[in-house]
């Protein structure tokens, strides 16, 4: 049986991935939403923006709940990611519930900062009001506790049991493209047919690809 490590190695081979980091309220939903997008290879949730060291969910203080994604820019652009970001939450302060849930973009380089500025102006015209998203350079991203990673998928422990051979460790689940798609699927993003169609296009050996598709189709929810 193919392992998730083998799958992820094949999916990232010869690809130059880029990373995007942002917050749009509670990080569970955004991880599921972005984890369903073709071109997004990995998702994880954590904490950024604060000054206190080693934040946790219980001791977050001035940090913000954040999602971080690795994506293939030949399949999905940073501009497209920003459009998904702004179209799927209200980015102004009357909706904020403190710094923990602030709308935020943590850019990794000058190019991302410039693209944010361009897309932000376009979105402000469409919204007819200023956007108050907190836009700052990424300082440090602290990975959240395991219970918050792929949160919606973990609400199906029977499914995780069925997939145990694929995910023998918590880390393997965090880095898995397949797990990201499943996490989005159980939250209602994407259909069974869409996921199968995408997987059939993944750059895997034919035997491995068919094993993965069959593994997905035989899951008992």
Tens digit of pLDDT for each residue in 122-144? 999 998 999 999 999 999 999 99
Which domains does the chain show, CATH number per domain?
Answer: 1-221 (3.30.1060.10)
CA dihedral angle for residue 193, residue 30, residue 32, residue 63, rounded to 10 degrees: 160
Can you give the length of the chain in residues? 221
| Cα 109 to the center of its chain, rounded Å | 19
Cβ atoms within 10 Å, residue 14: 6
Examine the pLDDT at 2 and tell me if it is beyond 80.
no
Please give the positions annotated as active site: 26
- Residue carrying structure tokens 């189709």: 217
Examine the pLDDT at 154 and tell me if it is beyond 80.
yes
Q: Give pLDDT, residue 96.
A: 65
What confidence category does residue 94 fall into, taking pLDDT thresholds of 50, 70 and 90?
A: low
Q: Give pLDDT, residue 1.
A: 62
160 within 8 A of 153, measured Cβ to Cβ: yes
- Give the tens place of pLDDT for each residue, 39-79: 999 999 999 999 988 999 999 999 999 999 999 999 999 99
61 within 8 A of 52, measured Cβ to Cβ: yes
Coil, strand or helix at 137: strand
What is the pTM for the complete model shown?
A: 0.94
Q: What are phi and psi of 143, to 5 degrees?
A: -65, 135
Whole-angstrom Cα distance, residue 28 to residue 44?
A: 10
Q: Which of 5-14, 48-57, 153-162 is least confident?
A: 5-14
Q: What are phi and psi of 167, to 5 degrees?
A: -125, 75
Q: Give pLDDT, residue 95.
A: 61
Q: What are phi and psi of 138, to 5 degrees?
A: -70, 125
Section 95-103 average pLDDT: 82
């Amino acid at each position: 049986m193919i392992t998730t490590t083998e799958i992820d190695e094949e999916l990232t081979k010869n690809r130059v991935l880029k990373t995007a980091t942002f917050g749009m309220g509670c990080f569970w939903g955004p991880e599921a939403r972005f984890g369903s997008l073709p071109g997004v290879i990995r998702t994880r949730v954590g904490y950024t923006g604060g000054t206190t060291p080693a934040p946790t969910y219980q001791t977050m203080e001035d940090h913000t709940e954040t999602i971080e994604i690795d994506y293939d820019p030949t399949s999905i652009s940073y501009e497209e990611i920003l459009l998904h970001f702004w179209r799927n939450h209200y980015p102004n302060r009357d909706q904020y519930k403190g710094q923990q849930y602030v709308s935020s973009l943590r850019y990794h380089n000058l190019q991302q900062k410039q693209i944010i500025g361009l897309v932000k102006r376009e979105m402000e015209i469409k919204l007819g009001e200023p956007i108050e998203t907190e836009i700052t350079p990424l300082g440090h991203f602290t990975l959240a506790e395991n219970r918050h990673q792929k949160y919606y998928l973990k609400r199906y422990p029977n499914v995780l049991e069925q997939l145990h051979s694929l995910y023998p460790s918590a880390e393997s689940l965090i880095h898995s493209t397949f797990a990201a798609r499943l996490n989005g699927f159980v939250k209602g993003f994407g259909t069974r047919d869409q996921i199968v169609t995408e997987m059939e296009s993944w750059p895997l050996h034919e035997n491995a690809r068919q094993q993965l598709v069959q593994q997905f189709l035989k899951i008992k929810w």
